[in-house]
DNA sequence: ACAAAAAGTAAATTATACTTTACATTTTGT
DNA sequence: ACAAAATGTAAAGTATAATTTACTTTTTGT
């Protein structure tokens, strides 16, 4: 799963730490998700998408094999 | 997290087993998610929403405290 | 160039998603 | 009513998401 979190953070001028705090997770979780190290829960995905006022599908996208 | 999976399954005439097979998870996982026993991964959520041609946000919704 | 902030990363632990097997209950079709 | 299919549920195990602590590297501002 890829995502545009980094881009949206930039648009909103948020650091990973800021985003983590707003969403209620650790900074490392944001970093790991952002870098595609693991797939977040649907809850997290929805919260982040909502914060950026984007549909989940426009923030997270499946890759070929998924 | 609540969801409308049961309703959408009905609209599409799919059993939990059918859905599980199409998505690639166990029937029990579908049952548990459908009943709100746990929050699925974003991957699963997106796959299910896509199958039903619905935005994730129209299939899964956060409740008050979430 | 320098200091401070932000981002990357890693190991160890905890929480939870998901599977498998197995069985009980409910629903559906005839 | 009966049988078959579908759903509900539970326990034990595996996989992986998320946390914490701690340290290194990169980026940003002055």
A23 touches strand D (CB under 7 A): no
Q: Does A45 touch chain B (CB under 8 A)?
A: yes
How many Cα atoms sit within 13 Å of B4 on the Cβ side?
15
* For A1, nearest residue in chain B (alpha carbons): B43
The answer to whether B27 touches B17, Cβ cutoff 8 Å, is: yes
- What is the structure's pLDDT at B41? 98
Q: Does B1 touch chain A (CB under 8 A)?
A: yes
Q: Does B36 touch chain A (CB under 8 A)?
A: no
Give pLDDT tens digits for B11-64. 999 999 999 999 999 999 999 999 999 999 999 999 999 999 999 999 999 998
* Partner-chain contact A42 B1, CB within 8 Å: yes
A26 touches strand D (CB under 7 A): yes
Q: What phi and psi, each to the nearest 5 degrees, are found at residue A4?
A: -110, 25
Task: Please give the protein residue whose CA is closest to the C1' of the nucleotide C16.
Answer: B38
**Rounded CA separation A36/B43 (Å):** 12
pTM for this prediction = 0.95
Give pLDDT tens digits for A2-55. 999 999 999 999 999 999 999 999 999 999 999 999 999 999 999 999 999 999
């Amino acid at each position: 799963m890829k995502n545009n979190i980094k881009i949206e953070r930039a648009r909103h001028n948020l650091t990973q730490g800021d985003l983590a705090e707003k969403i209620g997770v650790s900074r490392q979780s944001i970093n790991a998700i952002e870098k595609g190290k693991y797939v977040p829960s649907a809850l997290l995905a929805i919260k982040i998408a909502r914060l950026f006022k984007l549909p989940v599908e426009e923030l997270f996208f499946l890759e070929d094999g998924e």
